[in-house]
Every structure is written in C-alpha cells, then in structure tokens.
Amino acid sequence: MEVMTDVIRVDPGTPDPAALSRAAECLRRGGLVAFPTETVYGLGVHALDRAAVRRLFDAKGRPANDPLIVHVESVDRMQALVADVPDAARQLASRFWPGPLTLVLLRSSRVPDEVTAGLNTVAIRVPAHPVARALLTVAGVPVAAPSANLFSRPSPTRASHVLDDLAGRIDLVVDGGATQVGVESTVLDLSGEVPTILRPGAVSIDMLREILPRVERRSAEALLSAAMKSPGLLERHYSPRAPLTAYDGSDGVARLVRDACTSMANGQRLGIMAADEDRDALSDVERHRGRATIAYLGSERDLPTVASRLYAAIRELDASGVDRILARGFPGDDGLAAAIRDRLSRASVP
C-alpha cells in the first residue's frame, strides 16, 4: 500500500528535540522511520511490535529468514532483550559502544521471533550518531533497524538514497545528512564457543582481540553454519543493477584497465570505481570520453574516505545507466579493508 513518506531535516550534531519527538512518536505507534546512524541509514521500527516488524519486512522486500539488529540507547537497555550479558559483552560494550559494533547474544523471550527470524539469538547495537542516540532516548523503546534500502540494493548513506528505494513505502525519513563510516557495523557472534566475526566492519579483528584474544573471522565452515542460522548472510547483497566486477590483487588495476578497454571497444558504457592513485593508469580509459564514468573514491591509503563514498558511488554509477561497473580492490586486511572487500565481493555475486 502506498503511504505518504514525510521527510524531517535535522542538524546531524544537535538535532531539534521537537522534530525528533515526532519521529519517536511515529516509532512508538508502529510506524516505519528511517534515520541516520554513523554507519548507514537504518529503517527503524518498534522492536517489540510484531505487526510493525512484519510491515518492515514487506516494505524492504526482505525475506523473513534474515534477522534484524535491535538498536538500544545503552547497555542497560540491552538487559531485557538477552538471556544474560556475558562478561565479554560488557567489556566490548564499554570499549566500543556507542559505535559500529553489533553483538549477537542469546535472546530473551521478550524479543519477537519476527525480529530474530526464529533464532535463539538476537543482534544488538548501541549506535553513536547523535540523531540515532537522541531518537532512541526519546522513543524509549528498542528499535529494530536493518539498513534502509530495498532488499539486495546497496545500503543508503544519504537520505536521498533512502527515498530512491523506499519513498511511498515508509512513514518518515529523518534526514541528518551523509553518514560518516559508510559501511555497516561489524557483527560479532558471542553466542557460541568461539567469538566469531560474521560481518567485517570498522571495528577490526585486531581491535576486538585487544579485549577478547580468542576472536576469529568466520571460516568457510563457520559461514555455512552461520548461513544455516541466518540465511540472509549468504544471499546476494549490496548489488547494483549493472553487473559489478571487483579486481583484487597487485595486478588488479592493470586487469581492470585491460577489461575496460576491451568492453569499451565492444561499445559498452562503463562505470569505474578507482583510487586517486589510479589516475595515470586510467589515462587510456579517460581517452574514450563518454564511454566511461570514473568515480575516484580517495587514496588507497585513506580507507575511511573510500568506505564513506563506496555505496554512494555504486548508486550514482548505477543510476547513470552504465552497462557494467568495474571496481578496483583495496589492499590491507584491517577492519575497513576487510569490510570494503566483503561488500564489493557480495555486490559482484552474479
């Protein structure tokens, strides 16, 4: 059913309380409200309102077997949602919350099955964005919020991305400008024997190991069992309409340029995602003016900037109607490098 989607613009640093109380009221009444977090925009809904959670899955076109992250204002507010708060969770929370880390814990019976996709665990995060924090405080309820995109589209890093996907399907967008981190939170599963990263993000494995030395990345095996627990983890995600190819490794840029020249000679229009360092290597490509649009994401040594521009660049290239998108890979294996590689490889699943 088509609804009117209102947009409320707020100052990202000091949001107007009156504007936020309207958004909070909408959430409390079961409405769908998109809001900025420091990672990406979330599509929020009262996490204990089953009917509202079902409407959220409908609005996104998200399969019901992909569980949601519940956002709370503080560690104290997490208590009622989980079976217990293990020491590890408490320590990680005091170091990384508010911030881009999601913890998967054994859930309490208060959390509806609709939120957890029937799992015995629940994912929880305390976001750092001033607008998200203020909204959670005023709403006074836990807020389940997946990224505010249509299922399998790239996550939104601006309010305009949310509207492109969800205008007419949700009640409200709180526009707090561009998000800062640009890729979704690190998801850490604390419910099993070994603390395992299910999704890489800005909080890196090294940062986590300072507090929990036993943290592991998910192995291929762990991915399979995680996927059985959380089928959403395996599906095509973050994908543009145009097929995307990622070029990893030390010869990645050279292979990208070769492929680009061949494709353009065959009449294709290309979108290219590059680093500032690639300008010389791309001069051959630049010469085919009109055939290629190049998005420079920043220096390969400045991954925070690259990550913050990643999804906007994919969306812009895609919207310009190119036939294919070619993306260079970024070196390194710390948090953001792993996160960028993970998102590009998921976006390129054919």
Chain positions contacting ligand TXA, by CB under 6 A = 37, 39-40, 42, 66-69, 100, 102, 104, 116, 119, 121-123, 125, 127, 145-147, 184-185, 187, 198-199, 229-230, 232-233
Confirm if 333 and 223 have CB atoms less than 8 A apart.
Answer: no
Confirm if 207 and 69 have CB atoms less than 8 A apart.
Answer: no
Compute CA distances 158 → 42, 80, 103, 130, 161, whole Å: 11, 32, 25, 15, 5
Report the residue from 116, 147, 186, 191 that binds Mg ion according to the rule CB under 5 A: 147
Among 44-52, 143-151, 315-323, 337-345, the segment contacting Mg ion (CB under 5 A): 143-151
> Which of residues 66 and 165 has its CB atom nearest to ligand TXA in the complex?
66
The pair of three-digit structure tokens given for residue 347, joined into one six-digit string: 């976006």
Judged by beta carbon distances under 5 to 8 A according to partner kind, the member of ligand TXA, Mg ion, none in contact with residue 122 is: ligand TXA
Phi, psi of 22 (to 5 degrees): -65, -45
Amino acid letter for position 243: P
> Which of residues 40 and 215 has its CB atom nearest to ligand TXA in the complex?
40
CA dihedral 23, 26, 32, 33 (to 10 degrees): 0
> Which of residues 121 and 239 has its CB atom nearest to ligand TXA in the complex?
121
Judged by beta carbon distances under 5 to 8 A according to partner kind, the member of Mg ion, ligand TXA, none in contact with residue 116 is: ligand TXA
> Which of residues 96 and 151 has its CB atom nearest to Mg ion in the complex?
151
Q: How far is the CB of 266 from ligand TXA (least distance, A)?
A: 36
Residue 294 pairs in a beta bridge with 272
Compute CA distances 30 → 10, 121, 283, 330, whole Å: 22, 23, 53, 41
Q: How far is the CB of 114 from ligand TXA (least distance, A)?
A: 12
Phi, psi of 66 (to 5 degrees): -110, 105
Q: How far is the CB of 280 from Mg ion (least distance, A)?
A: 36
Q: How far is the CB of 119 from ligand TXA (least distance, A)?
A: 5
The contact set with Mg ion (CB under 5 A) reads 147
